[in-house]
A and B are shown apart, each in its own frame.
Chain A
Amino acid sequence: MNQMIISAATEGAEPTNPLIPNVWEMGVVLAGFAVLFYIVVKFVVPMFEKTFAERAEAIEGGIAKAEKAQAEASAALEEYKQQLTDARAEANRIREEARAEGAQILADLKEKAAAESARITAHAHAQIESERQAAVVSLRSEVGTLATTLASRIVGESLSDDARAARVVDRFLADLENQNAGAAK
């Protein structure tokens, strides 16, 4: 078998130098490589480079977008914090104001009540005084009348006897009391 291979390989072929090229093979390699090079230059490299560029852009764009979103978020957070602080200060201020106002209102009411009570007291005093005056006036006139009546009775009886005079006065006063009691009924 191997004898056959060796004889087949050597048969009819003069010994060739492996460094001497076959011109047709060179031509095929040259043409083949030229075609491949053309395809690579024209299609393969531009297509891959386009994708690479797009991908790089997409990644960088995404990073930029994320950074922008983060900046926006932190700005919003800052704003909310600021607003919260403002709101707290506002609330404190309003509370203080309300407290001051309440105190003011209380003081006003107290003052007003004091004035009112003073006014009522003064009014009562005045009324009592006037009633007293009226009583004094009517008493005066009545006392005059009574005195006159009593005097006439005393004079009508006899005024020489002290005991009698005392009796007359007592009877007069009792009559007067009865009169008063009857009036009271």
Chain B
Amino acid sequence: MHLPAILPWGVADGFSKQMLLVILSVVIIATFFLLAARKQQLVPGKLQFAGEAAYGFVRNSIAKDIIGGKDFMKYVPLLFSLFFFILVNNIYGAIPVVQLPSFSHVGGAYVLAGIVYFTWIAIGVKKNGLKYFKLATVPSGVPVYILPIVIPIEIISNFLVRPVTHSLRLFATMLAGHLIVMIAGSGIEYLVMQENILLKGTSVLVLAGAIAMYMLEALIMALQAYVFTLLTAIYIEGALHADSH
């Protein structure tokens, strides 16, 4: 599954292309936003405007709208970092030659979902004390005789399944997209190599399909970055306002 390492060359557990891309993504994001934010003016230039639009999108459309209140500013840096880290690493899959979404390797998705998992639990405990676990698992207004069924469901869905779905959703969409594009590529190559001219001609159909899938994958790459960040915001909001749910 994993590509051979770049350094030392060919060793399975060495420094891989995926690692290089992850590090590169940090450089790209940091460089872009530091440049955009460097010369801050009241009337923004093009670069600053782009940076502000990107920052404002996470700040207002995700953090402010979901978490709201006066607390949301505290979580903007996390949501902002998550969104652009995932976005850039996903978009790698749509760039020719690079063509490797970092999160098609499951490790990165586990790490990010794990960070988010511990973050929202910590926020919930800090806000509500240990009572938070009761608030998160015992829904209010449910008849007592249903509780034995509801509580295990809540525990499983909130504390066990949630981080798994959170990470696998990102990983699986990226892997699937990566596979589809790769399979379409190999399919086109296979068909073009055929002797039969009619069979060779069908490669055009696959090419059209591959382009459509490529567009769809590009959309999904951006969408999954948004979904991951949005879910993070929803989890944080749920932990902050556990007593009112």
Contact = CB atoms under 8 A, between A and B. Distances in A.
**Genuine A/B complex:** yes
Interface of A: 1-2, 5, 13, 16, 18-26, 28-30, 32-33, 35-37, 39-41, 43-45, 47-52, 54-55, 58
B19 interface: yes
A30 B118 CA distance: 14
B76 A45 contact: yes
13 contacts: A1-B189, A2-B193, A16-B2, A28-B22, A30-B111, A32-B23, A33-B26, A33-B81, A33-B85, A43-B37, A45-B55, A51-B52, A52-B52
A33 B30 contact: no
Interface residues of B, number: 51
B78 interface: yes
B214 interface: no
Interface in B189-227: 189-190, 193
Interface stretch (B102-110, B133-141, B142-150, B229-237): B102-110
A54 B42 CA distance: 7
A13 B15 CA distance: 17
Contacts, number: 119
Given A13-B12, A25-B16, A25-B18, A44 B55 contact: yes
Contacts of A32: 22-23, 25-26, 85
Contacts of A21: 105-107, 110
A26 B107 contact: yes
A104 to B, nearest CB: 71
Contacts of B33: 40, 44
Most buried by B among A30, A40, A47, A58: A40
A20 B106 contact: yes
B19 A24 contact: yes
Nearest to A19: B106
Contacts of A30: 111, 115
Nearest to A50: B40
Contact of A35 (B26, B34, B186): B26
B115 A33 contact: yes
Interface in B110-161: 110-112, 115
Given A37-B78, A40-B81, 13 more contacts: A1-B189, A16-B1, A25-B105, A26-B111, A29-B102, A29-B112, A32-B26, A32-B85, A37-B77, A44-B30, A45-B76, A48-B37, A50-B40
B29 interface: yes
Interface string B5-33: 00000001101101100110110011001
